[in-house]
Amino acid sequence: MGATSRVTRLLLATALAAAAVAVGLTQANADQDNQRIVGGSRASIADHPYVVYLATAEGFQFCGGTLVDDKKVVTAAHCTVGKQPADIAVVAGREDKESGAGVSAPVQKIWVHPEYTNVRSGNDVSVLTLTKPLPYRPLPLPNKDEEGLYAAGAPGVILGWGRVAADGQPSRYLLQATVPVVADADCAESYTGYKPETMVCAGLPEGGVDTCQGDSGGPLIVAGKLAGITSWGEGCAAPGKPGVYTRVAVYRDVIEEPALESKVSVPTQ
Ligand code: 4AZ
């Protein structure tokens, strides 16, 4: 066999391999377009204009968030703790992460709940102040005494760009699902150390529908209000292991005026 034919064969083999990879990728994209894992289905930004994602300076989506005012985003403390404003961009109005739709807003200030240590201890709440107002409708916060939002069985809407299975890939598109609020007594059976004062669980007893890694910081919406912040859970969509969310009503005051909380540590005369 001559040198020319060897080169030709090599080129052919390379072309065939490239074609196979391309077909595989197209298949993967097609599968994701029809993603129904963890109970998700495509959601539209037009229906949920307040849902945003947090991206690194390089543009990589790592958490969700909710606009509660034109310059304020509520997210999870575990998404922002230890970061500087320049490390986070808030992306609004962009359903498809691979599109240029909507706006990316720089962060001016990061507030992390001063008593936050880790997700299982609670206080998983953070507020980002943006450098410019965003032209998207915010989601109302619950009132402090709005306990009705947390009634067992109340339907909660979850939204995010996170993983579509516990061991799966993040979603290219915004996905949504509806899960019922779980009674505190039931969630305490699922997780020892569950704190009903500052957390709320949502999910089906049989599993199958849940938030997952990358959805953290995003909303749990009950009756049109930001009832919860996606916080933690064991795995994703596993039976008997509902998602755990920050109980937002408890934090209403500190979210509205984060400076109030820091006054706690100021000595009084
Ligand atoms: C996470 O790692 C995570 N199934 C978020 C939500 C849930 C589990 C883990 C709930 O960000």
- Supply the residues annotated as catalytic: 78, 124, 216
Q: Where does ligand 1 bind, in terms of residues with CB under 6 Å? A: 210-213, 215-216, 230, 232-233, 236, 243
What average pLDDT score do residues 3-26 get?
A: 41
Percent of the chain with pLDDT over 70: 82
Q: Which residues contact 78 (CB under 8 A, 6 or more apart)?
A: 116, 118, 119, 124, 216, 231, 232
Q: Does the pLDDT at position 61 exceed 70?
A: yes
CA 77 to CA 79: how far, in whole Å? 5
| CA dist., res. 197 & res. 247, Å (int) | 8
pLDDT in tens, 177-196: 999 999 999 999 999 999 99
* Calpha distance 239→114 (Å, rounded): 33
Q: What is the pLDDT of residues 72-93, one digit of tens each?
A: 999 999 999 999 999 999 999 9
- Read off the pLDDT band of 257 (50, 70, 90): confident
Per residue in 94-145, pLDDT (tens digit) is: 999 999 999 999 999 999 999 999 999 999 999 999 999 999 999 999 999 9
Q: Which run of H or E residues covers position 259?
A: helix 258-262
d(CA 220, CA 154): 11
Question: To test the ligand 1 pocket, which listed residue (119, 212, 244) has its Cβ within 8 A of the most ligand atoms?
Answer: 212
Residue where the block lists tokens 């408890």: 250
The yes-or-no verdict on residue 2 having pLDDT over 90 is no
Confidence of residue 25 (pLDDT cuts 50, 70, 90): very low
User: What is the DSSP pairing of strand 89-92 with strand 51-55?
Assistant: antiparallel
Question: Which ligand 1 atom is the nearest neighbour of the CA of 78?
Answer: 11
Mean pLDDT across 153-177: 96
Q: What is the model's pTM?
A: 0.85
- Predicted confidence at residue 258, as pLDDT, reads 67
Q: What is the overall mean pLDDT for the chain?
A: 87
Per-residue confidence band for 33, with pLDDT thresholds at 50, 70 and 90: very low
Q: Which of 47-61, 71-85, 226-240, 248-262 has the lowest mean pLDDT?
A: 248-262
DSSP 118-156: -GGGS---EEEEESS--SSPPPPPPPTT-GGGG-TT-EE
In this prediction, residue 259 carries a pLDDT of 56
How far is ligand 1, taken at its centre, from the CA of residue 240, in Å? 15
